[in-house]
Amino acid sequence: MKSKKVEFTPPEGAVPEGTGVGDTFDLVCSFELKKDGSACITMMGDVPMPGYDKSGKYAEEEDKYRPGFKEEAEKMRGIMMAGGDTATAE
């Protein structure tokens, strides 16, 4: 299977506030690996992709498979603002 460029319209609320056309951003996403080896994006940040809403398949298992990143992001932001090294932070 040959990979292709992936472009799609993100669900409302998934793009970080203040992001403009042409800007780039980093976001933690969740994926489902299919039997054929392809991957399907199920969550973009905390926003479910169409067909993967919180009342569906991932509602009960979300915490089991999808770690929370809020605390890690806040810790990294604090280290970066202080000019620290993220490799030595605990």
Q: What is the 3-state secondary structure (H, E, C) of 14-62?
A: CCCCCCCCCCCCCCCEEEEECCCCCEEEEEECCEECCCCCCCCCCCCCH
The helix (run of H) or strand (run of E) holding residue 69 is: none
pLDDT in tens, 52-85: 876 555 545 555 555 556 666 777 778 888 875 5
pTM for this prediction: 0.55
In terms of Cβ atoms closer than 10 Å to its own Cβ (0-12, 13-18, 19+), residue 14 is: middle
Residue at 54 is within a domain: yes
Residue at 58 is within a domain: yes
Instruction: Tell me if residue 1 falls in helix, strand or coil.
Output: coil
Residue at 40 is within a domain: yes
Count of structural domains within the chain: 1
Residue at 9 is within a domain: no
The helix (run of H) or strand (run of E) holding residue 64 is: helix 62-65
pLDDT in tens, 14-58: 999 999 999 999 988 989 999 999 999 999 988 899 888 765 555
Domain span including residue 58: 29-82
pLDDT band at 89 (very low <50, low <70, confident <90, very high): very low
Quote the CA–CA distance of 34 and 50 in Å, as a whole number: 17
